[in-house]
Structure formats: structure tokens, C-alpha cells
């Protein structure tokens, strides 16, 4: 395969295929972060919120199953090589949620609508991408690191619930992760008529598979290619900034 495509092209192909699945889920399955919250608060509907639960359960089960079969090593990802500080996630989540409410869309939904020709979403994506790049690699990067320092892990502890539980239980991290995934999936179907929402269930599973495919694909490239690209899956803010830079510089 690498005789026809290099590592970067393979990563783009794998990401593009997963992106198509995610875009279809957003457009045809109405999978949306802001929409799920709005439906729950204003329409008294839990369907789209439960779609998130099911997609998380599917993605988790698939990823931990790949861990158990040595197809994926999460300790090589950026998420488990740095110490996790919940304050960072809380502040980032509040800022993202507030911006999402003001703009009327999240990064994922804006990209999906942009694909359908929505110029308002084009502005949202453009501003979000530039803002992300300014904070990550631009003038505000120094301020970000000063306020939110990033510390690499220096001991054997892995900042993962599954790994922490595996240290004190006679079961492996993949088994614990798959068990948690099953529990999340079961809770998703409890106390509501979600099991009748066949369309929502289908697209939730598609989202979970798409996320897992990102991890599996980049891991495969890192294991079999000459270069060693970052092992990652789909995100919807930082890659937009990277794309803008690539579009300008080639």
C-alpha cells in the first residue's frame, strides 16, 4: 500500500473515509452536540442525547477490543502521555459550550453544514480554526502554556480509569474498558423509548465506528510505515486550523 500512497496520504484517506461517515451522521442522522442539548432542555426529548451515549459506548468497546488484540496502543497517543488536569477540561468545556451557544453550532455541526453550502457555518469554521491556531501555535501559545502547563508523564502511571482500576483488580485494562462501554450502552437504553429509534441507533453506531477507525488507521500507519505519524482520531477544531495553514502555504 505504501508503494502507492505515502503515510500522509494514507492518513488523509483514512481520515476522509471516517469524515464522510461522520458527515452523513450529522446530515442524515441529525447527530449534533448543541442539538442534543437543545432537544433535552426545550423539547423534552432525550433521543439525540442518548445517541451520544450509544456512540461513546460503541467507540469505547471497539477501541478497548483493539487494545486487547494488540491492534491499538493508547499509551502512544498524546492523551495518555501527558498528565491530565480536570481543570483544563472544565475551563475548555465551558468556553467551547458558551461559544457553541452563541454561534448556534458546534465545530462538528458547523463542518457538516459547511459541506451543505451554509456560508454562516463557513464563517464559524474559519474563525474557530484561526482562533485555535493562534492559541495552539501562534502568539497566544506562550500564554496558554504559562497558564495551563503541559507535563509529560515521568512514572509508570497511565492517566486512564481503565488502567488505574487494572492496577488494583485482577483483570486487564481492555476488559475493564469494554465492561464500562457495555454499562454505558445499557444505561443509554434504560428508561426511554430509544430502542424504537432505529435511525438514531444506526447513526450512533456509525459515529462510534468512525471514531474507532481513526485510532485503528493511524496506529496501523505508525506500525507499518517508515514515518511515525501521531496516533489520533477525529477532532473538529485544531485540524481546521491546520487545514487553513495548509491551504495558504501548501
Residue 12: domain span: 7-249
Residue 82, strand partner residues: 152
Residue 1 lies in a domain: no
Question: Is the Cα torsion angle 4, 211, 104, 199 positive or negative in sign?
Answer: positive
- Structure confidence by residue, pLDDT tens digits, 59-76: 999 999 999 999 999 988
User: Cα Rg for the chain, rounded, in angstroms?
Assistant: 19
Q: Report how many domains make up the chain.
A: 1
Residue 23 lies in a domain: yes
Question: Is the Cα torsion angle 41, 44, 50, 52 positive or negative in sign?
Answer: negative
Q: What is the mean pLDDT of residues 141-159?
A: 82
What per-residue confidence (pLDDT) applies to 18? 95
- Residue 83's nearest CA partner among 160, 161, 148, 159 is 159
Whether 241 shows a pLDDT value over 90: the answer reads no
State the average pLDDT for the chain: 90
Angle (CA) 50-177-224 rounded to 5° is 110
Whether 216 shows a pLDDT value over 60: the answer reads yes
Query: Is 10 within 8 Å of 1 (Cβ atoms)?
Result: yes
Whether 1 shows a pLDDT value over 60: the answer reads no
Residue 233 lies in a domain: yes
What per-residue confidence (pLDDT) applies to 204? 97
Residue 2 lies in a domain: no
Whether 117 shows a pLDDT value over 60: the answer reads yes
Non-local CB neighbours of 19 within 8 Å, separated by 6+ positions: 210, 234
Amino acid at each position: 500500500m505504501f508503494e502507492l500512497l505515502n503515510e500522509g496520504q494514507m492518513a488523509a484517506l483514512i481520515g476522509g473515509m471516517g469524515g464522510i461517515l461522520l458527515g452523513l451522521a450529522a446530515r442524515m442522522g441529525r447527530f449534533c452536540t448543541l442539538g442534543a442539548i437543545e432537544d433535552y432542555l426545550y423539547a423534552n426529548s432525550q433521543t439525540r442525547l442518548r445517541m451520544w451515549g450509544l456512540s461513546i459506548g460503541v467507540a469505547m468497546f471497539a477501541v478497548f477490543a483493539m487494545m486487547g488484540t494488540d491492534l491499538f496502543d493508547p499509551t502512544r497517543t498524546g492523551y495518555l502521555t501527558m498528565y491530565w488536569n480536570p481543570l483544563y477540561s472544565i475551563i475548555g468545556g465551558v468556553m467551547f459550550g458558551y461559544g457553541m451557544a452563541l454561534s448556534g453550532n458546534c465545530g462538528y455541526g458547523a463542518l457538516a453544514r459547511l459541506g451543505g453550502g451554509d456560508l454562516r457555518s463557513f464563517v464559524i469554521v474559519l474563525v474557530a480554526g484561526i482562533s485555535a491556531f493562534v492559541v495552539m501555535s501562534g502568539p497566544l501559545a506562550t500564554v496558554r502554556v504559562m497558564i495551563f502547563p503541559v507535563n509529560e508523564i515521568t512514572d509508570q502511571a497511565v492517566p486512564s480509569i481503565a488502567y488505574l482500576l487494572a492496577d488494583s483488580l485482577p483483570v486487564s485494562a481492555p476488559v475493564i474498558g469494554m465492561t464500562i462501554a457495555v454499562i454505558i450502552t445499557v444505561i443509554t437504553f434504560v428508561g426511554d423509548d430509544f430502542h424504537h429509534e432505529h435511525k438514531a441507533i444506526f447513526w450512533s453506531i456509525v459515529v462510534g465506528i468512525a471514531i474507532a477507525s481513526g485510532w485503528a488507521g493511524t496506529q496501523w500507519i505508525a506500525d507499518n510505515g517508515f514515518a511515525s505519524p501521531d496516533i489520533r482520531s477525529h477532532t473538529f477544531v485544531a485540524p481546521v486550523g491546520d487545514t487553513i495553514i495548509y491551504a495558504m502555504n501548501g
